[in-house]
Structure 1
Amino acid sequence: MQIYLPNQLKIGLAGGIASCLLVLLIIPLQATTYLDKWGYPRQTVSIDVSEKSLLEIFDTIESKSDYVFAFDNKNHDFRAVRLTLKFDQALIDDVLRSIEQKTAFEFNRINKVISVRKKRVDQPYLERDLKGLVKDALGETLPGVNVMVKGTTMGTVTDIDGEFSISIPDEEEIILVFTFVGFGSQEIAVSDQSFLEVVMEDDVQGLNEIVVTAAGIERNSNTLGYSVSTLNSDEVSQRNEPDPIRSLTGKIAGVNIQGGGGVAGGTTNITIRGNSSLGNNNQPLFVVDGVPFDNSSFGPVDGENQTQSAQSTTNRSFDIDPNNIASMTVLKGAAAAALYGSRAANGAIIITTKTGSTGRKGFEITFNSSYSQERISGLPEYQRVFGQGTSWDYRPGVYGSYGSPYSSRETIPHPLSPSYTSEDFPEFYQADGVTPLEVPYQSYAGESQKDFFRVGNLLENAISINTGNEKGGLMIGVSRMDNKGIVPGNEVSRTSFNVGGNADLENGFYVRGTISYVKTNQQSPPIGGRSSVMENLLYLANSYDLTNLPYEHPLTGDNVFYRAIDNPYWSVENSLSTSEVNRYYGNISLGNQITPWLDVKNTFGFNGYTDERTSVLGQGSSRYAPGAINTDHIFRQELDNTLLVTAELNPTENWSFRAILGNNINQRLTRRTAFQGDQIIVRGIDDIRNTTTITLADIPNNQALVKQRYYAFFADLTFDYKTFASINFVGRNDVSSTLPAENRSYLYGGVNGSFEFTEAFNLNGRTVNFGSLRIGYTKVGNEARPYQTINVFNANREFGGLGSPFSNANNSNVSTQTMSDLMTNSELQPEFITEFEVGSEIRLWQSLVTLDVTYYNKKSTSQIFVVNAAPSSGYLTRIINLGETSNKGVEIGLSASPLMSDNGLNWNINANFTRNRNKVEDIGDFAQLTYGGNVHIAGMPYGMIYGTGYARDQDGEILVNPQTAKPIASASSIPIGDPNPDFMLGFSNSLSWRGINFNFLFDWKQGGDILSTTIGQMYARGMIKDSEDRPHMIHQGVMGDVNTRTPLLDENGNTIPNNTAISYNEYFFSSGFGPGGLDAANVFDATVIRLREVSLGYEFPKSLLASTPFGSVNISLSGRNLWYLAPNTPEAMNYDPELSTSSSNNMGYDQLGVPPTKRYGVNLSVSF
């Protein structure tokens, strides 16, 4: 594979490779060991120092062993004591005794912790012994807790059982200080007790203080002037969900995630604070370890007999291994993402991967294994009264169930006899070979569909090794995931290899690096849209026994079905699409802490993949008997380099200042080549060379070769006053290759600030212990797509390419090129998004309740959109800047801990609420702009569903055709639905008690319309239980004139109600599916309430594991999508609106997608 590298990045790449080698070579030295009285290794060390301080000697011993020193550095200057020591593989205990003989200090080692204190010569007071036990909130004992007598050097640490014994001054009252990593420090007064039991509390506030923001900058969450949300590793990796993006669903305000139904490896769409761009991408930027991560998905290629129309492909965020994620932070607004440039105009998702723990001693091995089963979440309730046919007459060739009732006859001729002779299938005929065999006329409704779907499964195993010392850390991880979907032939697998490391070098230098390789294989039959498995399965005629009738010819292997339709069982064996993705990504950071206040860091990142796709329409298909094989090769590469210079100063006692100056260079390259093979030669060999004719396929949107680059300079300036006020200024200047020379440089930025009023006015109390306000205003640019400023020529698929091969006297079959039918724009400008945000966070009753409220107002202007061109121009379409959209909304986050008992029972609640209102403010001189199936109209919500609607009178009454009794269609396509939800709500609960954890998450999406082809076709073909009772019906409305689309009036000038009855067959099945084929009849409210997640886990007590090699053991049961309610869709459909097959810009459509699944699983996590 060839890597295309700009000159500016060559130095960064060379340095990056060297830095990566450094990271991989820094592994803690392991000393020779013996066992001590606690069963821990007694370690040896070689040391040769001359006139080194005691502190330097401590550092040397720590770097060469698993021991750590605990001491009070404030009261003793260990730098002032200098020694000369020389030992070769000596026991560390012997080294310590030698130091004791030469200094005024003595040592006490318990397990791996060595406490240091000054020798006691003469005690001016009496001492007494105090014993105790230290536990956590769950009642588990804590080894290694530091116990110090406040104001002295007297101290000890707890042993493996959490017990301690210490000599304390025999005074009226002393204070003991207990400290341990991850727990809040505790001071306890001791009077005359002889035994003390201490419970350490988690330092939750401290753990949540620092968040990763734009450009990898770490900031205290209390000082941010904008809203961010973070999920930790457990919330991402331990949910039996292979797609890390779906793990965000229902957990973060402002984030709307739409899954791809029950397809294994299906596409996931995500938007933050609504859609803004009319024609550009609306999904957020993904950033992994500071480097942009391509999440795009590529649609199918074009061409005759093309096989990819119903192919399922995933977006590339699926390549991220959830087991390797340390944290995932969502930057919602423009202020948060401004430093990432134009690609983050729609927000950013910042993923930090695991890189090893600095300060760790020895190795930690973690193994995770999970297994889940998937079942279809719900099938429609089929009617079992009427069989195949129409107008209450059995007809074997009709793909519908409006035939005669089952009670009307006992048998029917074999349903496949009209399509196949007795020579092919003698079992279809009686002995004479002419008369079709009579078979029972009965319903198989629901049984055929249920038998077709299988029980899917998900198996994932991951192992990681974490090691390090005080100078660095290293993490190596390997995982394998296999997911078999509920549709036969649909499966996806992912194999990941991840390495991450960090090291602190000499002279202030440090290096960080990660590298990952992922191989993702996906396979699926045609399972979405028209001519797909789902279409041929869901509304299969009720009287057809799909399970037991043959699906392929026993001699030829050809498809066996009827009406020139492929049998679903035949499709899943013969018409598969496959995708093999090989992806590599990573980064290398090399920095130097030049002075205590100045830091320089350069990060080089790389991110690329190849996607080899093969799509087959099997030989013998009823759609195209010769068969076809398409191949599609996609190569994507991104290189990114960021230089950061950070200065932090404290000019006065009350003021602090931080300035970050940066430079960013980015290059993206896409190459795509697709071929189409026609007429398969040998059945079963899915290689395009096994076809008679191979032609070059059309690549959509001129994406055969795309190369783009930008570079940028940016600044981030922060001023802090004391600890309660902060103001932040950001600015960035991008220079993009996708814009014309005079417009390719554009500047944007913003300002945001926070004010902690409880601290400023000393309002901290027992009720309100924290309160802050934040406010920000930011402008962000959004670059154009490549090749929209200069017209380019396109190579034609075939030689000649002008309708017939071009030839002349000297040459024939000359390759030709044609000009694109799109008129580009040499004056194109970038889109801009401006956003105002204001919010507040209040914490009550010592943070038992936290309320966070945000209001935002976002506007997108100078939209880039493709519109129709004037016929005189010679082009079909042209690109222009026009239009404005707006998104206004409220986000509310609430967390509470209503129960925190002494016996370890804790209950935590988290809820989030989002209400977004978007609107197309302006589209220039155009009445409307169409994007796919959606339409943008000034003054209306973004992306209205567009189709044929009902003709209505001025009072809104539907006009009915007096001749047919069917509703009259609108004169042209009109907006018929709003796909944007009214609000979204997530509500989670977590209960824990003595290692037992129970969690569940509900989410509620209210409103938003969906145009469901699935529901429409099921009713149109008479499949649903609701249609078992089939009397004549009367459509509500008033009589209307079909030509003028105005109401008919009686002699008194009043409208005439429709009282003409019509049969169900005529209403749904005849003259177009649905009521006269109207799209509006198939638009439904997509409200859905769902039990998204449930888990029950148990973490084994450390006391039970003390005599085992395990450091921790956790086992849990989990479930996803176990229950849902869609109250505004037909009850008998059991319809789940989440099967929407829409993309982020094409919203509110269901094109016969695979229903979502229920998932039940078990997870085991072990470390040692």
Structure 2
Amino acid sequence: MRNHSPYGDEARPLSSKLFHLIYLLLIIFAVTPAVAQTSGQITGRVTDATGQGLPGVTVRIKESTGTTGAVTDVNGRYRIAAASGNTLVFSFIGFTPQEIRVADQEVIDVQMRDDARSLNEVVVIGYQSVRKRDLTGAVSSISPTEANRVSANNVAESLQGLSPGVTVRSSGAPGQNSQIEIRGVASFINASPLYVIDGMIADANSTVNNDDVESIQILKDASAAAIYGSRAANGVVIITTKKGKKGAPKINFTAKYGQQRIPKQWDVMNSTQYAATKSQAYTNSGLPVPASIGSAFNTAVNTDWQDLDQRTGNNQDYNLSVSGGSDNSTYLISGSYFRNQGVLKAYSFDRASLRINTETKKGRLTFGENAMLSNSNNYHPNRGNPFYDLPQLLPTVPVQSNGFITNNNVNPMGYSTGTADNGGDVTYAYNSLAVNDLSQGYNNYAKILGNAFAQFRVFDWLDYKFNVGLEASFDYNRDFRKNGIFSYAQQPELSYIDQDRERFRNILLEHTLNFNKTFGVHNINGVVGFSEQSSYRDLTSARKTNLTVLSTGEYLTEINSAGGAPSVSGRVAQDDRIRSYLGRLNYTYNDKYLLTASGRIDQDSRFGPNYRSGFFPSVAVAWRLSKEDFFKADWVDNLKINASYGVLGINTINSYQNIGLINNSPRAIFAGDAIFGGAYQSTLYNADLRWEKRKETNIGFDASLFHDRLSVSASVYNNKSEDVLVNQVLGQFLGNAGGNPPVNAASISNKGIEVEATYRNNNNAFKWSVSGNVTTIKNKVLALGNQGVGVNYIQQGSTRSQIGYALGQWYVLKEVGIFQTQDEINNYKRADGSPIEPFAKPGDVKFYADPNGKGTINNNDRVFNGSPWPTLQTGLQFNASYKQFNVNLQLVGIFGLTIYNDIRRILDGYQNSNFRADINPWTPTNTSTTDPRLGIANGDPGIANNNTPESSRWLENGSYGRIRNLEIGYTFGKAALKPLHVENARIFISGQNLLTVTKYKGLDPDLVGNGLLQRGVDAGNWPANRIYSVGVSFGF
């Protein structure tokens, strides 16, 4: 296509002249400086502290705005043209840049100094900070800069793809917490890690403002996490918030606004397509066609339910902080506001927070606090799941109609209830737009989180610290229900309002002694301490029905305005205490040989009296080969191998599960209508209830190569969980009417490999780095406590957890094709001659059957068929900058898993639902399809028994690769900002979840799932939103 000038073709001669004129001026300006001064050749050699030549060092002229420069050769030598008065800048990764002014020298030799910031990077590992290079355990450090590039409801969501061994599962729902799994799942109940925020063990993932975070450390093995004992088996996430720094007050402001949409919708039929397809299904089964899709089909009704309930949502994130300090005192005060307006109507979340962090030094005493106050609001309907209901709803049914209005106040708004002809053709899915109006939920979470500390330097090598922490939350939940119905055959219910209030208090008291002493080539450091923590939670709830409705149709939502009888209840849901003694010892000999021993004794009130105290030890060793005299590889800066073993615990029960409870509510009526009270035992007493234990072995290495340009780390781990809690199946007559009691009886293993590598090239005007990580995890159930008697599995829906297989592995009927002829059906028999699928017809699904089984297809014919757990996880981050521009790219890849697509099971089951637009049903003239024949299950057992059961037909490849985030930014130069009295300023644009490559047919293969035992079930998972954002940041 011809490329026209925006000013017309007649402008071409003028624009051509301007081009040549500008080109000539650029040549003149480029030549002038060279004529104005005389350059000389400078040569020299760049070495490290030992006198070794450094290859690859960048040498440039500071005053030059171009790309003038040189790079040292393999011997560290360089040659550059420079004039008297120029300044040469020597830079190399891992070393402090050197600046030398040129006088009349012809030779300039430079010795580079190690950059202490690079070599001595400090990480927080729990009650102590150590140099990263001295770590003996598996610890991942996450850059908050990388994490904050994505728009996220919480800190956990922002970690996806940034660390090996860490699986993050997120929902696009506003305010929804993300789920983190570290090195696999080893429990049937709980896989969440322990969160430690500024030294406070707390449950505050969704309330911490991402912009307040200074560092994130993830402790993954026993050596790193044993200091947290009975709560660390699922890993530990340590979050440290920002502190003030010495200097004049600094004001920082950031703002980010983004618009979001769902990247994909279910492609379902419109009303005309649906009516024709469903009519054919009735005809195929020999049933009359309902009027709504036949003789009385209304072409004017064509409801696109997904479009009606979806919108362009937005994310807003604003942060303002003031920080500064003197030699003796520092402070940081920050405020933030975050809002997520969901892509579905009636869903939104907002959070406001305030943080104050201070620290003061008085001689040997240092004291301060880290305090946060947050208030969150979550708005959502309280019934149904739109991503489950919307695809099913029939396009032949309107959202509302006068025909649905009833005179008895059952459906005053006239919302449709899944049928257009009073039950002829129906769906049982909820009318999502009716739910938005009739069932309104609201949650308010107010939280205080913080700690105060006082630290006293006893000796130069010994510090005492007292730390007191508080987490307090005040939650209010409201469920407001109007008069009306929103699904077929729904029973009418009175309008009501529920109000629930919950108070939670978590208090921490700690005394610790930190020591660090060097004796010649020996260094000993570590910590010993005492900790006590108590948690208390109580709940109260109230309900009243028959709300007052004004003449305008408005409902009064104050509970006292309702006319029905009140219902009030309350209980103490949690009351427990844990007392601990902890210690860690790090020993280093000559910076070559490292030893770490740590442990914690926990005494927990939640467990039975026989196991109320537990000891959780670990030991680790490391050897820095690069320090040995025999190690002669000059290109290796640091090479360390390490190994560790330890035992961790996880306390997954509530405060009262070890106690036998009595229910005193039963009543009996005897002769004379006298009412007598009674009682029965609802839960069993278990004196042996105890922690789940995880025995962990880790072997790995860390290496820095080519003057810290390349860093590589790898670990091989083998974790075995013992005493895993399972619910023991017992008869209720034994006293467990309240449910099967938990017992410590199962065992699960997780094995895998982690590799992480980073390459940096910061020696030119164009600077770039690339980081990648790879994780493999293999999960297996080792024991279930049945001791060889009875069943050796736990069945839940379409999954089975069985000894020798992965947790929650798919256990379904296996589809082997579609019957093409009646003879094929008749000849499909078991070994005893019994028919396997006697009701099938040509076009029905054919399943694998155990030839030695009996009767028709049943649960005994199910087989293991894939796993919801990925075999390979990858992450990649690429950063590049040129002058004032920068770009960041984050990629995520998950491979080797299978997803059970329950939405497709409903759509392709042809019953009480809309259809996928691209189905291709079997017919006698269309036999090469994979979709079975159309039919109605009612009166057609072949359809009911063969085409709708839980089977491999609904299993799909869940592997995917995703552009997690792409950000492009521009940082303004200081010269341009100086007149504005602005210290720094940056603008950026970003795109999140821009592209997902997958074979999965659902909306999103990144699933939260339905609990640990049904992790890969997609029953309406809220997909990740595609977000386009623009942001700015200023510093004053």
> Fold-level match, TM-score > 0.5?
yes
Of stretches 864-873 and 580-589 in structure 1, the one that deviates more from structure 2 is 864-873
Residue ranges of structure 1 left out of the alignment (5+ in a row): 1-131, 141-163, 167-174, 295-315, 395-401, 406-410, 419-435, 1037-1058
Give 1:313's aligned residue. none
Instruction: Name which of 479, 487, 495 aligns with 1:615.
Output: 479
In 2, the alpha carbon distance for the partners of 1:935 and 1:1061 equals 27
1:391 Cα shift?
7.2
Q: Is the 8 A contact 2:198 2:451 kept in 1?
A: yes
Give 1:88's aligned residue. none
Give 2:808's aligned residue. 943
Give 1:633's aligned residue. 501
Give 1:558's aligned residue. 413
In 1, the alpha carbon distance for the partners of 2:95 and 2:1032 equals 26
Q: Which amino acid aligns with 2:577?
A: R
What SS does structure 1 have at the residue aligned with 2:470? strand
In 2, the alpha carbon distance for the partners of 1:1061 and 1:449 equals 24
* 1:360-404 Cα distance to aligned partner (Å, 9 max, x none): 22100000101000101101223458544597428xxxxxxx579
1:975 Cα shift?
5.3
1:1073 Cα shift?
9.4
Q: Is the 8 A contact 1:950 1:970 kept in 2?
A: no
In structure 2, relative to structure 1, the CA distance for the partners of 1:1035 and 1:475 (3 Å cut) is farther
In structure 2, relative to structure 1, the CA distance for the partners of 1:205 and 1:591 (3 Å cut) is closer
The answer to whether residue 657 in structure 2 is matched with residue 788 in structure 1 is: yes
Instruction: Name which of 913, 936, 948 aligns with 1:1076.
Output: 948
The answer to whether residue 196 in structure 2 is matched with residue 326 in structure 1 is: no
Q: Is the 8 A contact 2:516 2:523 kept in 1?
A: yes
The answer to whether residue 749 in structure 2 is matched with residue 886 in structure 1 is: yes
**How does 1:233-312 map onto structure 2 within 5 Å?**
233-260=144-171, 262-279=172-189, 281-294=190-203
Tell me how many residue pairs correspond in the alignment.
Answer: 902
In 2, the alpha carbon distance for the partners of 1:549 and 1:944 equals 49
* 1:1097-1150 Cα distance to aligned partner (Å, 9 max, x none): 1111222222221111011111111111221x33xx5x3122444344541222
* 1:964-983 Cα distance to aligned partner (Å, 9 max, x none): 24446433577555211111
In 2, the alpha carbon distance for the partners of 1:1013 and 1:612 equals 33
Give 2:557's aligned residue. 686
In 2, the alpha carbon distance for the partners of 1:136 and 1:322 equals 39
The answer to whether residue 261 in structure 2 is matched with residue 375 in structure 1 is: yes
In structure 2, relative to structure 1, the CA distance for the partners of 1:344 and 1:869 (3 Å cut) is same
* 1:238-290 Cα distance to aligned partner (Å, 9 max, x none): 42223221110011100111112x211123111100111233x2110011001
Percent of residue pairs identical: 20
Relative to the length of structure 1, the TM-score reads 0.71
Give 2:881's aligned residue. 992
In 1, the alpha carbon distance for the partners of 2:565 and 2:1017 equals 34
Give 1:922's aligned residue. 783
Q: Is the 8 A contact 1:1032 1:1062 kept in 2?
A: no
In structure 2, relative to structure 1, the CA distance for the partners of 1:474 and 1:780 (3 Å cut) is same
In 1, the alpha carbon distance for the partners of 2:795 and 2:706 equals 51
1:668 Cα shift?
1.0
Q: Which amino acid aligns with 2:126?
A: A
Q: Is the 8 A contact 1:895 1:910 kept in 2?
A: yes
Q: Is the 8 A contact 1:890 1:914 kept in 2?
A: yes
Of stretches 616-625 and 484-493 in structure 1, the one that deviates more from structure 2 is 616-625
1:481 Cα shift?
1.0
In 1, the alpha carbon distance for the partners of 2:94 and 2:65 equals 12
Q: Which amino acid aligns with 1:661?
A: V
Q: Which amino acid aligns with 2:923?
A: P
The answer to whether residue 576 in structure 2 is matched with residue 708 in structure 1 is: yes
The answer to whether residue 728 in structure 2 is matched with residue 867 in structure 1 is: yes
What SS does structure 2 have at the residue aligned with 1:592? strand
Give 1:1052's aligned residue. none
Q: Is the 8 A contact 1:387 1:404 kept in 2?
A: no
1:574 Cα shift?
2.5
Q: Is the 8 A contact 1:370 1:460 kept in 2?
A: yes
Of stretches 492-501 and 180-189 in structure 1, the one that deviates more from structure 2 is 180-189
In structure 2, relative to structure 1, the CA distance for the partners of 1:182 and 1:1089 (3 Å cut) is closer
**How does 1:1123-1138 map onto structure 2 within 5 Å?**
1123-1127=995-999, 1129-1130=1000-1001, 1133=1002, 1135-1138=1003-1006
What SS does structure 2 have at the residue aligned with 1:840? strand
**How does 1:359-508 map onto structure 2 within 5 Å?**
360-384=246-270, 387-388=273-274, 392-393=278-279, 439-440=298-299, 447-506=304-363, 508=364
In 1, the alpha carbon distance for the partners of 2:63 and 2:234 equals 46
1:675 Cα shift?
3.6
Of stretches 488-497 and 966-975 in structure 1, the one that deviates more from structure 2 is 966-975
The answer to whether residue 657 in structure 2 is matched with residue 657 in structure 1 is: no
Give 1:186's aligned residue. 98
* 1:200-250 Cα distance to aligned partner (Å, 9 max, x none): 9995952762101022x1011111111211123322334222322111001
In 2, the alpha carbon distance for the partners of 1:597 and 1:948 equals 66
The answer to whether residue 376 in structure 2 is matched with residue 520 in structure 1 is: yes
Relative to the length of structure 2, the TM-score reads 0.79
The answer to whether residue 635 in structure 2 is matched with residue 779 in structure 1 is: no
1:1010 Cα shift?
2.3
Q: Which amino acid aligns with 1:464?
A: S
**How does 1:592-607 map onto structure 2 within 5 Å?**
592-607=456-471
Q: Which amino acid aligns with 2:181?
A: T
The answer to whether residue 230 in structure 2 is matched with residue 342 in structure 1 is: yes
Give 1:1027's aligned residue. 919
Q: Which amino acid aligns with 2:705?
A: L
1:475 Cα shift?
0.3
In 2, the alpha carbon distance for the partners of 1:137 and 1:862 equals 66
**How does 1:942-1021 map onto structure 2 within 5 Å?**
942-945=807-810, 961-965=837-841, 966=844, 967=847, 969-971=857-859, 977-1020=866-909, 1021=913
Instruction: Name which of 380, 390, 394 aligns with 1:537.
Output: 390
* 1:439-472 Cα distance to aligned partner (Å, 9 max, x none): 426765xx44224310000111110000101112
1:616 Cα shift?
2.8
What SS does structure 2 have at the residue aligned with 1:1107? helix
1:872 Cα shift?
4.7
Give 2:433's aligned residue. 569
Q: Which amino acid aligns with 1:995?
A: Q
Q: Is the 8 A contact 1:931 1:1146 kept in 2?
A: no
In 1, the alpha carbon distance for the partners of 2:671 and 2:982 equals 75
Q: Is the 8 A contact 2:231 2:648 kept in 1?
A: no
Q: Is the 8 A contact 1:413 1:439 kept in 2?
A: no
Q: Is the 8 A contact 1:367 1:463 kept in 2?
A: yes
Give 1:1116's aligned residue. 988
Give 2:15's aligned residue. none
Of stretches 595-604 and 630-639 in structure 1, the one that deviates more from structure 2 is 630-639
* 1:181-214 Cα distance to aligned partner (Å, 9 max, x none): 9982537596625999999999595276210102
Instruction: Name which of 331, 334, 354 aligns with 2:242.
Output: 354
Q: Is the 8 A contact 2:401 2:414 kept in 1?
A: no
In 1, the alpha carbon distance for the partners of 2:931 and 2:517 equals 83
1:496 Cα shift?
0.3
In 1, the alpha carbon distance for the partners of 2:673 and 2:679 equals 18
Q: Is the 8 A contact 1:231 1:329 kept in 2?
A: yes
In structure 2, relative to structure 1, the CA distance for the partners of 1:1167 and 1:646 (3 Å cut) is same
Q: Is the 8 A contact 1:559 1:567 kept in 2?
A: no
In structure 2, relative to structure 1, the CA distance for the partners of 1:1034 and 1:1015 (3 Å cut) is same
What SS does structure 1 have at the residue aligned with 2:695? strand
In structure 2, relative to structure 1, the CA distance for the partners of 1:514 and 1:719 (3 Å cut) is same
In 2, the alpha carbon distance for the partners of 1:725 and 1:138 equals 48
1:992 Cα shift?
0.9
1:177 Cα shift?
11
CA RMSD of aligned residues (A): 4.1
